[in-house]
Amino acid sequence: MRHLSTKVRNLEESQTLLLTQRARLLQDAGVDVVSLTAGEPDFPTPAHIKEAALRAIEADFTHYTANQGTAELIEAVIDKFSSDNDLHFSPDQVLVSSGAKHSIFNALCAILNPGDEVIIPAPYWVSYPAIVRLADGVPVILPFEAATGFRPDVRRLRRAIGPKTRVLILNTPCNPTGIVFTRSEVEEIAAMVKETNLTVISDEIYEKMVFDGRKHVSIGSLKGIRDQVVTVNGVSKAYAMTGWRIGYMGGPEEIIRAAGKVQGQVTNNANSIAQKATVAALRGPQGPIDAMRTQFQLRRDYVARRLSAREGGEVRSPEGAMFFFPGVERCFGMRARGNLIRNASDLAEHLLEHHHVALVPGEAFGAPGHIRLSFAASMGDLEKGMDRLLRGLQEIQ
């Protein structure tokens, strides 16, 4: 066996990617699997964005750019933050990276010393703990209450802060819970953060996916907290550009410069063509976002109706992002086709193996009594997927 670092040996693979991959393998083998695992829009990237990329290739815009991103993209990001989020940055306070995931990694590498703690409210996006560990930090998982729908709890947050805490990761709209922090929740968290010297990494990648007229509030826009917040965003979800790999962040100059140093040594600039496409996304017509949001809301409502009919009551609908995260604990200890369902992983396994519908078990998100269902799928797939899911659940007794 080759020598591998302890850090990497201990690193878990992303459960979401693993399940998506398993569903894909079954599909490749000819099995008709409905995959409700992925957190990516199933729409094509809008035409004007693709055309900008084609023009970039034609114009030979195919070389290294400035490490932090092209001047025109940095300006477009500054304008976006200003008009959408009331966040005001100078060019030295913005870094463009190869996806929001990369932005978070760069930010954590810039901030953490070995052993520094990072508070991650649970349920959390699968990759946060692993990225913290890769950056030599220690993830401190802080569960929010399932009974409240996992709404943020400032008293718990305050209690989790210790002498080694450096960073608090916030994610609204939240993957996997689908909650969107209200303005008063954001204000309450901001007031608490201001009493500390913590840095908040605010992951706002699902900002545009908010339903029923809700408004996303960026914590960095609140008074007196600006120097403590790094705001992360990107084009993956808003513009159906997951494969283009562009994320960006804005924050205190010192952190952004340090994150740029990390990026400069590891990857250098994000893809030049994708940067041109991102300028078109941010500066161009925003109609495609509204069209996608409308579709997502219709799909969300459809899934909610199907789940509610089974539960015989209202199921809590996601306020944002693209996921349902229902509790499934009542299935635990029961049997399906002779197999004992001990936990959400067993349940996901049963649904995939016998009913050919793929969902991600809650263990991956630090909430083992739950399962995540993505509604980023066509209506046809959702109908089929819900039929299979409900049939699979019925079998469990």
Residues in contact with ligand PLP by the rule CB under 6 A: 39, 99-101, 125, 171, 175, 203, 205, 234, 236, 242, 247
- AA letter at 328: V
Min dist CB 103 to ligand PLP, Å, is 8
What are φ and ψ of residue 94, in 5° steps?
A: -130, 135
- Report the interhelical angle of 100-111 vs 127-134 (nearest 10°): 40
Indicate the residue whose CB is closest to ligand PLP.
Answer: 99
The helix/strand/coil state of 160 is helix
Q: Which is nearer to ligand PLP, 216 or 388 (CB)?
A: 216
CB of 322 to ligand PLP, least distance (A): 9
Phi, psi of 168 (to 5 degrees): -120, 125
**Minimum CB–partner distance for residue 229 and ligand PLP (Å):** 16
Task: Kindly write down the DSSP assignment for every residue of 258-282, as one continuous string.
Answer: HHHHHHHHHT-SPPHHHHHHHHHHH
Question: Which regions of 194-283 does DSSP assign to beta strands (E)?
Answer: 199-203, 229-234, 247-250
Least distance from ligand PLP to the Cβ atom of residue 325, Å: 13
Nearest to 137 by CA among 150, 145, 128: 128
Nearest to ligand PLP of 205, 389 (CB atom):
205
We find the least distance from the C-beta atom of residue 101 to ligand PLP, in angstroms, to be: 3
Measured distance CA(176)–CA(98) in Å, rounded: 22
Quickly tell me which residue has 């590891």 as its tokens: 266
Measured from the CB atom, is 126 or 357 closer to ligand PLP? 126
Looking at the DSSP assignment, which residues form a beta bridge with residue 34? Answer: 357
Task: Find the helix packing angle between 379-394 and 287-311, rounded to 10°.
Answer: 20
Nearer to ligand PLP, 37 or 221 (CB): 37
For Cα atoms 50, 51, 57, give the angle at the middle one, nearest 5 degrees.
Answer: 95
Query: Which of residues 175 and 228 has its CB atom nearest to ligand PLP in the complex?
Result: 175
Distance from C-alpha of 260 to C-alpha of 304, rounded to nearest angstrom: 43
CB of 246 to ligand PLP, least distance (A): 7
Among residues 100 and 186, whose Cβ is nearest to ligand PLP? 100
Please state the closest distance from residue 43 (CB atom) to ligand PLP, in A: 15
Nearer to ligand PLP by Cβ, of 320 and 392: the residue is 320
